[in-house]
Amino acid sequence: MRRSVCSNRSRSATASNTRVESILHRAECLAWLAHPTRDETQPLTTARPMDLQPVQRAAYAPAPFESGTMQQQENVEYTPPEHLLTQIDSCPLCGSKKTSLARTERHNFPPDEYFRQYSEVPIRLKRCNSCDFVFVDALPKDPNFFEHQYRQDRDWAYEFSFHGKVAIAQDVRRRILRYVSGGKLLDVGAWSGTLISGLRNDFEVHGVEINPHAAAYAREQGFDVRTGAFGTVVLSDIAPFDVITFIDVLEHIPQPGGIVEQARDVLRPGGLMVIKVPHFAAQAVKQTTLQRLGLSDEGVAQNYSHINHFSPASLRLILEQRGFDVLEVSGAQVETWNLSAPASTAVRATRLFKNIARGVATETLNGLTRLGVPCALNIQAVARKR
Ligand SMILES: [Zn+2]
């Protein structure tokens, strides 16, 4: 059995986490210093991305983010527009008001009348000085914002069978079966049903999904996936559960602690909780590097896609604070192409190359994470309800 990152040595691991993230952050600062800086006295942009033609939009690449440890950033005064955003003054995880600026980014919304109003608002990520949780410091007031964000339609057959989540589902299954087999499993954020499909022979599987198109596709495949936000969907006819999974979900949801509490309430005593999320420090370095190389203009939080950002310590904390014993925190699987997907030879060759590169990178970073150097791009916790 693999050794977990933090089991039985949370204090030393937390100290190690802090040291490594400090090193990662210094590397981030060096990258920042090596790059021409943006004039902070100028407005973020005078042109809205939605006003531009596609070619022009391609040129509208957000400026590289600036590290929050830089003095210039600490001095930036910014007040979110009150009619649009609610300021988050305290850490959503532990409630502390002692925070520091971790990062600033810009949005890059697709052309859409609804999102236009948010396009020029900078994103500021704050780090809680007490628990290491990183969060976007102002969120849309519109209670329907995230439903609007997550109701897009896609090629669901492709998402179900060929998207990189198949590899993630296989890894999550292996981890769950280390601790429990049989019973009822609820996948929160079930998407088109890939995870529960992989677990259908091991558990009685159910799902909750906010995207109505994704949920409908999963139901067409024969799965009980209920449409709506977790906490609003009726589950009383099937609860309690033996396992609840949040795979790439908690980074998207306001008040993640409240969601974990709601999940605990429908979990049997001794039941298993599995949470997979991106690892902030490693993702920040990755996106910075890609930006510097001109390979990506994405940030870690743009368009309010990822509003919560975890470290191994804060992932452990969100569970321990809410009545769970953490069994393991470790590096997690990344998305890889399913090479059986229909595509040209050239595309398949490219996907194979990407899979190899991602596989090598993931194994290396996850291996270092197992040795106590938490640099995995994604982290995963397995915990048992007390
Ligand atoms: Zn905190």
Question: DSSP for 292-346?
Answer: HTTS----SSGGGS--EEB-HHHHHHHHHTTTEEEEEEEE-------TTS---HH
Of 279, 299, 273, 239, nearest in space to 377 by CA: 279
Mean pLDDT, to the nearest integer, of 168-178?
93
Q: Determine the Cα–Cα distance for residues 45 and 285; give it in Å rounded to an integer.
A: 25
Can you give the pLDDT at residue 117?
A: 85
Mean pLDDT, to the nearest integer, of 93-122?
88
Name 236's bridge partners: none
Query: Would you call the peptide bond into 212 cis, given omega within 30 degrees of 0 as the criterion?
Result: no
Q: Determine the Cα–Cα distance for residues 194 and 205; give it in Å rounded to an integer.
A: 11
Q: Give the Cα-Cα-Cα angle 133, 138, 144 (nearest 5 degrees).
A: 110
Ligand 1: distance of its center to the CA of 78 in Å? 22
Q: Token match 């007040």: residue?
A: 79
Ligand 1: distance of its center to the CA of 380 in Å? 19
**Residue 307 in contact with residue 149, Cβ under 8 Å?**
no
Q: Determine the Cα–Cα distance for residues 74 and 354; give it in Å rounded to an integer.
A: 38
Rounded to two decimals, the pTM is 0.78
Q: Token match 């470790």: residue?
A: 330
Q: Determine the Cα–Cα distance for residues 321 and 292; give it in Å rounded to an integer.
A: 38
Q: Determine the Cα–Cα distance for residues 331 and 279; give it in Å rounded to an integer.
A: 9
Q: Determine the Cα–Cα distance for residues 359 and 363; give it in Å rounded to an integer.
A: 6
Ligand 1: distance of its center to the CA of 385 in Å? 22
Distances (CA, A) of 99 to 111, 121, 137, 208: 34, 20, 10, 33
In this structure, what token pair is assigned to residue 285? Answer: 């370095």
3-state DSSP call for residue 183?
Answer: coil
Distances (CA, A) of 177 to 20, 83, 191, 199, 231: 31, 48, 22, 10, 26
Q: Per-residue confidence at 160, pLDDT binned at 50, 70, 90?
A: confident
| Single-letter residue type at 309 | H
Ligand 1: distance of its center to the CA of 263 in Å? 20
More confident residue, 185 or 89: 185
Can you give the pLDDT at residue 76?
A: 52
Mean pLDDT, to the nearest integer, of 260-281?
96
Ligand 1: distance of its center to the CA of 96 in Å? 5
Mean pLDDT, to the nearest integer, of 34-38?
30
Q: Is 232 exposed, middle or buried (0-12, 13-18, 19+ CB in 10 A)?
A: exposed
**Residue 104 in contact with residue 65, Cβ under 8 Å?**
yes
Ligand 1: distance of its center to the CA of 154 in Å? 36
In this structure, what token pair is assigned to residue 11? Answer: 């204090």
Mean pLDDT, to the nearest integer, of 20-38?
39
* Cβ-based neighbours of 25, under 8 Å, separated by 6 or more: 67, 69, 281
Name 67's bridge partners: 103
The length of the chain is 386
Can you give the pLDDT at residue 111?
A: 80
Ligand 1: distance of its center to the CA of 255 in Å? 12
**Residue 340 in contact with residue 167, Cβ under 8 Å?**
no
Ligand 1: distance of its center to the CA of 99 in Å? 8
* Cβ-based neighbours of 250, under 8 Å, separated by 6 or more: 256, 259, 260, 275, 277, 308, 310, 318
Ligand 1: distance of its center to the CA of 343 in Å? 46
Listed residues: CB within 5 A of ion ligand 1? 91, 93-94, 96, 128, 130-131, 133
Can you give the pLDDT at residue 78?
A: 64
pLDDT digits (tens, 9 = 90+) for 180-192: 989 999 999 999 9
Give the Cβ contact number of residue 148 at 10 Å.
Answer: 13
Query: Does the pLDDT at position 60 exceed 80?
Result: no
Mean pLDDT, to the nearest integer, of 251-274?
95
Ligand 1: distance of its center to the CA of 374 in Å? 19
Ligand 1: distance of its center to the CA of 307 in Å? 14
